[in-house]
Structures are given as C-alpha cells and as structure tokens.
Amino acid sequence: MTPRALAIAQTELLILRRNRWLFMATLIMVLFALALTFAGSAPTGSLGVDMLTISVASMTTLSVYLAPLLGLMMSFDAISGDVDRGSLSLMLSYPPSRGEILLGKFLSHLAALSFAMIIGFGTAGALATWSGGAGSDSLLALARLIATSILLGAVFLALGYMVSAFAGSSTAAAGMSAALWLIFVVLFDLGLLGAVVMDQSGYFTQTIFPWVMVANPADAFRVWNVAASDAVALTSGMTGAASALPGWAAPVSLLLWPILGLALARIAFGRVEP
C-alpha cells in the first residue's frame, strides 16, 4: 500500500459520491434486502428457525446476483472510461504506476461496495432480529454473509477492470461485463445442470461436479455460506454439494479469485495505450 495508491482511492471515492454511485448502490441493497427479508419470513414457523436465519438464506440468494452486478457496474469503465475521456494519458504522466492506479481504483470501489453491503444487509438483519428474534448462529451467519458478499463483489470488481482494459471503449466494456455476469451467475449453473442430467448420478455427478461448481466464485459463495451454518442449510438446496466438498474448498476458491482477477487486470492494463 503506497500513499499514491491511497490518494487515487480518495479521488475515486469523491467521484463515486459526486456521481451518486455510493447512494444508489446502498439504496439498491437496502430495498432488495428488506423486500426479501419480509417476503421470505413465511416459512419461519414450519422450519423451526428464527426469522433472521430465513432472512440470511434469502439474502444469500440476493447477493449471488447483486454483488457481481454492482461490482461490474462500478468497474466496467474504470479504464476504458479514462481512455474515452482522454484522462488516462494525463494520469499516466504522474508518478503513480499502473499498478498503483489499479490498486487505488480497487480500494475505492471496494470501500463503496462494502458500505452498501454493510448498510443493506445490516439494516435488513436488524429489522429481522427485532421482528422475529435471532440466535447466535444466525447472527454469525449474517456476519459471514456480509463478509463473503464483499469478497464476491471484490471478485467481480477485479474482473470488471480486466474487461475494461481489454474492451478499449466503455460501450464494448458494458457489453462484455453483461456477458461475464450471465456466464458466471446464470449460464455456468445451467451448463452444470445439463451435465448432471445427462450423467444420471454417475461419476461426474458424484466426484467431479462439486469441484467444478466451487470453481465458480458465485457458487463458491453459496457453498461457503451453506456449509458454514446448519440453520441456513435447512433452507438451501445446495446442502448435498456442500457436504461433498472439504470445508476449505469454497473459502480458498473465493479468496483466490480476487487475486487472480487483479493479476489479469494488471496484465491487460499494461497493454492499454493512452
């Protein structure tokens, strides 16, 4: 961490606040988290768990879709936008290196995303606790959900920078980001489901499928939250896949993805001509 990277992060945060990005991301998280919390509270009595546990399970599903989307929306024009505006050449004429510029942008966007996640899920969790009570396990599950959601968002921030550097223009980066979201969040699982159906509970389903699934950061996020809490697992359909993997598989996958994404983004950024 260098003072120059921190200075860039501070500048990027001011830009996010000026563009109302921080406000909009937080508002989106609060509204969706509250909606899912109270819409999903019906099974509380029949499952014998407190309302916060049901809320965490619902918000886990929400985060799989929203955390990658918010991450990509914040980062898709981080580099291509500077190229389009002509500000990249000016930025590169200053002392900060490309790595420091990328790190500064990442820190600012991650701070904004973390703020939105904490306020959104924290508000919904507090209201669920006040309405239906909460046990120690559900409170721990909520804290884990917030931490892993931030980590999942970090993955797609890094992948967004990579796309932004490869695309060359903001328009192309927006299209590539949408495709990336579809692949990781929707199409990957559909492809695995088709493979499982064709395999008919064979070797692929029993041995290879769980590892291929956890290689996807979105699915690693699901498995981590399900495997770590028996109460949340009651409301999830991924219990079988989670039990087929060692406990370290999902955390290692989700922790490695931001590092891999930033490394690829740095390589791509190095090839961008201002």
pLDDT per position as a tens digit, 116-157: 999 999 888 888 778 766 677 778 888 999 999 999 999 999
Please tell me the predicted confidence (pLDDT) of residue 133.
66
Please tell me the predicted confidence (pLDDT) of residue 134.
66
DSSP string for 51-79: HHHHHHHHHHHHHHHHHHHHHHHHHTTTT
Q: Which residue has the higher pLDDT, 274 or 147?
A: 147
Give the lowest-confidence range in 118-132, 152-166, 196-210: 196-210
Task: Please tell me the distance from the alpha carbon of residue 103 to that of residue 206, in angstroms, as a whole number.
Answer: 40
For the segment 57-77, what is each residue's pLDDT rounded down to a tens digit? 888 888 999 999 999 999 998
Give the lowest-confidence range in 5-14, 43-52, 82-91: 43-52
Please tell me the predicted confidence (pLDDT) of residue 173.
92
DSSP 216: S
CB 37 within 8 A of CB 123: no
Q: How far is CA 227 from CA 114, 140, 144, in A?
A: 23, 13, 11
Task: Please tell me the distance from the alpha carbon of residue 216 to that of residue 96, in angstroms, as a whole number.
Answer: 33
Q: Which residue has the tokens 């493979």?
A: 195
Count Cβ atoms within 10 A of the Cβ of residue 193 and give its class: 0-12 exposed, 13-18 middle, 19 or more buried.
Answer: exposed
Please tell me the predicted confidence (pLDDT) of residue 223.
87
Mean pLDDT of 23-35: 86
237: confidence class by pLDDT, cuts 50, 70, 90: low
Predicted TM-score (pTM) of the model is 0.89
CB 167 within 8 A of CB 83: no
Please tell me the predicted confidence (pLDDT) of residue 152.
96
Task: Please tell me the distance from the alpha carbon of residue 165 to that of residue 268, in angstroms, as a whole number.
Answer: 6
Mean pLDDT of 156-160: 96
